[in-house]
């Protein structure tokens, strides 16, 4: 399942490139459809496929009585890592090594 989640992540990145490059105009695909496909839809599926196997394993390992607390901590940790830290790490790498910023996106397709 983890591989499926990563494949969805790569697919969403490719759809994002189509959206940023403007190729959607030549393909006659609505911009809103691509935005929803690579954003909300792909992100939800990816998170589900990546997180579901570990949730199952954790539920088998956690002792009875503290499973709610441990699952709350685990869910918070995975949420922070998958949502917040992944995005900030991408912003850092783009800015520090590829010289991509909101003001200068000239090197986007070469990166």
Q: What confidence category does residue 109 fall into, taking pLDDT thresholds of 50, 70 and 90?
A: low
User: Would the pLDDT of 107 be above 70?
Assistant: no
What residues contact residue 43 under an 8 Å CB cut-off, 6+ apart?
A: 12
Q: Quick check: helix, strand or coil at residue 6?
A: helix
Instruction: Locate the domains of the chain by residue range.
Output: 1-61, 64-111
Q: Quick check: helix, strand or coil at residue 100?
A: coil
Q: In 10 A of CB 82, how many CB atoms?
A: 16
pLDDT of residue 10: 83
pLDDT in tens, 27-83: 888 878 877 777 778 877 777 787 788 888 888 888 888 888 888 888 888 778 777
């Amino acid at each position: 399942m983890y591989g499926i989640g990563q494949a969805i992540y790569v697919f969403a990145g490719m759809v994002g490139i189509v959206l940023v490059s403007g190729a959607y105009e030549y393909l006659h695909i609505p911009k809103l459809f691509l935005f929803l496909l690579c954003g909300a839809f792909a992100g939800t599926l990816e998170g589900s496929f990546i997180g579901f196997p570990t949730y199952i394993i954790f539920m088998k390992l956690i002792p009875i009585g503290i499973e709610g607390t441990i699952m709350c901590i685990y869910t918070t940790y995975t949420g922070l890592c998958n949502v917040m830290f992944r995005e900030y790490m991408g912003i850092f790498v783009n800015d520090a090594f590829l010289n991509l910023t909101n003001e200068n996106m000239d090197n986007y397709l070469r990166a």
